[in-house]
Amino acid sequence: MTETKPTESSALKKALISGITGQDGSYLTEFLLGKGYEVHGIIRRSSNFNTQRLEHIYIDPHNSSARMKLHYGDLTDASALRKWVDSICPDEVYNLGAQSHVGVSFENPDYTADVVATGALRLLEAVRVHIETTGRQVKYYQAGSSEMYGATPPPQDESTLFHPRSPYAVSKVAAHWYTVNYREAYGLFACNGILFNHESPRRGENFVTRKITRAVGRIKIGLQKKVYLGNLKASRDWGFAGDYVEAMWLMLQQEKPDDYVVATEDSHTVEEFLEAAFGYVGLDWKDHVEIDPRYFRPSEVDNLRGSSEKIRSLLGWKPKVDFQQLVAMMVESDLERAKREKVLADNGYIASHQQP
Cα atoms in the 13 Å half-sphere on the side-chain side of 42? 29
Q: Is 231 in the site for ligand GDR (CB under 6 A)?
A: yes
| 168 catalytically annotated | yes
| 147 catalytically annotated | yes
**Nearest distance in Å: CB 77, ligand NDP:** 8
Q: Is 109 in the site for ligand GDR (CB under 6 A)?
A: no
| Closer CB to ligand GDR, 125 or 272, in the complex | 272
Q: Is 113 in the site for ligand GDR (CB under 6 A)?
A: no
**CA–CA separation, 30 and 59 (whole Å):** 13
Q: Is 211 in the site for ligand GDR (CB under 6 A)?
A: yes
**CA–CA separation, 23 and 200 (whole Å):** 8
**Nearest distance in Å: CB 340, ligand GDR:** 24
**Segment near ligand GDR (CB under 6 A); pick from 50-58, 108-116, 224-232, 332-340:** 224-232
Given ligand NDP, ligand GDR, none, residue 163, with its beta carbon under 5 to 8 Å by kind, binds: none
8-state DSSP, 354: -
Q: Is 163 in the site for ligand GDR (CB under 6 A)?
A: no
Q: Which residues contact 316 (CB under 8 A, 6 or more apart)?
A: 250
190 to 209: interface string for ligand GDR, x by CB under 6 A: -------x--------xxx-
CB 176 within 8 A of CB 142: yes
**CA–CA separation, 315 and 163 (whole Å):** 27
Residues of this chain that bind ligand NDP (CB under 6 A): 18-19, 21-25, 42, 44, 46, 50, 74-76, 96-100, 115, 143, 145, 195, 197-198, 204
DSSP string, 266-293: --EEHHHHHHHHHHHTT--GGGTEEE-G
| 178 catalytically annotated | no
Question: Which among 18, 145, 200, 267 is annotated as catalytic?
Answer: 145
CA-to-CA dists, residue 61 to 118, 138, 252, 287, angstroms: 31, 25, 27, 49
| Closer CB to ligand NDP, 198 or 305, in the complex | 198
Backbone angles phi, psi at 333, to 5 degrees: -65, -45
Could you give the residue numbers annotated as active site? Answer: 145, 147, 168
